[in-house]
Structure 1
């Protein structure tokens, strides 16, 4: 908004608030994950995060009230996000697509270092539990859709133990890549998918 001063010149009315730049927000998210991977959640310094992003700490506090809210937002926005995937025609093909998306996330070097710390931090304090639960619920919803399609095709029983099935699907890949630190190629995903189909039929 413009207004005239007593000298007749146009002057801009101060907005009273700093502009939130999306590019800086993304830089802060990247810096947070880099710091997290280096030192773990408990030792994260918001000053160091801001410095990594080329900003001052005030840039963080303009967006989030503290570290917990910042980290929770980061987990939900740029954490392990599988997105949506369509019907691939069979349970095995759907599982392969699901695992391929999971593998792409777990192959990221920062993700491989942060995911174990997330589990440890949840056990230590539970501060991040709400954010982790929301992410897990969104991912399990994709698994539910996968199971619904398989039931509709007659590939698995409608009475399948869904909780057990949803735990089964990502577990072998997580164990291989995160716990054992081993790579997972397309052949590994295909073997996992075939084994998972057999297991789901027994649930």
Structure 2
């Protein structure tokens, strides 16, 4: 969940300091030793040879720092200064990539929607579901993820932009995986071709998310296997 994510920085280059321009002769005075008058062409200001591309290692350090800051202090207390300090960069490096902490977090959270999990392909519906639940449970148990998601959910209740980004990250990130499992099961004849895929997604993703994130209850031994069996039975009934 916290692996490297591709973002689209808002500024494609790292600005460089413009080179200084050579001093020209003063207005109304002759150039020294040349006999030229002040109406001679004035020296042109040198143009910088180029601008440095945003350094990938800095961008990655900032991404990592954002997740660590969210886990440590929460969105409300998080600041660009704290992110920059943790990343070992200046505030300017952060602002070159994102306009504000809201845009920064929205960008990173939205990237989760396209990151996703690998689609299990074990040959049966129930075993596919069990593997999916094992991968998802492992990701949700990550200390950083377990702290960040509830905090962002609280912020989403006050911020429509955050709510939209979080909804996409949590739902769309699982949609392609769940759809892949359902389509494979339909092709094998385990599920009806006309089943409601949207309802199937709720049935696949809802129970584990509820237990792990909302009520934060521990999973007893064998829980994921039983959940996979119950979910498979529910999908067959759709």
TM-score category (smaller protein): 0.7 to 0.9
Q: Which residue of 1 aligns with 2:226?
A: 191
CA distance 1:131–1:60, shift in 2 (3 Å)? same
Q: Which residue of 2 aligns with 1:154?
A: 189
Q: Distance in 1 between matches of 2:120 and 2:237?
A: 25
CA distance 1:33–1:15, shift in 2 (3 Å)? farther
> Does residue 141 of structure 2 align to residue 107 of structure 1?
yes
TM-score by length of 1: 0.82
Q: Secondary structure at the match of 1:40?
A: helix
> Does residue 152 of structure 2 align to residue 118 of structure 1?
yes
Written as runs of structure 1 = structure 2, the 5 A alignment for 1:8-19 is: 14-15=48-49, 17-19=51-53
Q: Distance in 2 between matches of 1:64 and 1:163?
A: 34
Equivalent pairs, count: 192
Q: Distance in 2 between matches of 1:26 and 1:196?
A: 38
Q: Which residue of 2 aligns with 1:10?
A: none
Q: Secondary structure at the match of 2:185?
A: helix
Q: Which residue of 2 aligns with 1:145?
A: 180
Written as runs of structure 1 = structure 2, the 5 A alignment for 1:1-203 is: 14-15=48-49, 17-77=51-111, 81-135=115-169, 136-184=171-219, 187-203=222-238
Give the drift of 1:143: 1.0
Deviations 1:124-176 (A, max 9, x none): 11122343344322421221121111112121222222222201212222222
CA distance 1:118–1:78, shift in 2 (3 Å)? same
Root mean square deviation of aligned Cα: 2.5
Q: Secondary structure at the match of 2:97?
A: coil
* CA contact 2:119–2:180 (8 Å) conserved in 1: no
More deviation, 157-166/27-36? 157-166
CA distance 1:52–1:15, shift in 2 (3 Å)? farther
Q: Which has the larger radius of gyration?
A: 2
Return structure 1 stretches of 4+ with deviation > 6 angstroms.
none
CA distance 1:145–1:31, shift in 2 (3 Å)? same
Q: Distance in 1 between matches of 2:105 and 2:118?
A: 24
Q: Which one has the bigger helix percentage?
A: 1
TM-score by length of 2: 0.71
Gaps of 5+ in 1: 1-5, 7-12
CA distance 1:185–1:97, shift in 2 (3 Å)? farther
CA distance 1:194–1:27, shift in 2 (3 Å)? same
CA distance 1:65–1:15, shift in 2 (3 Å)? farther
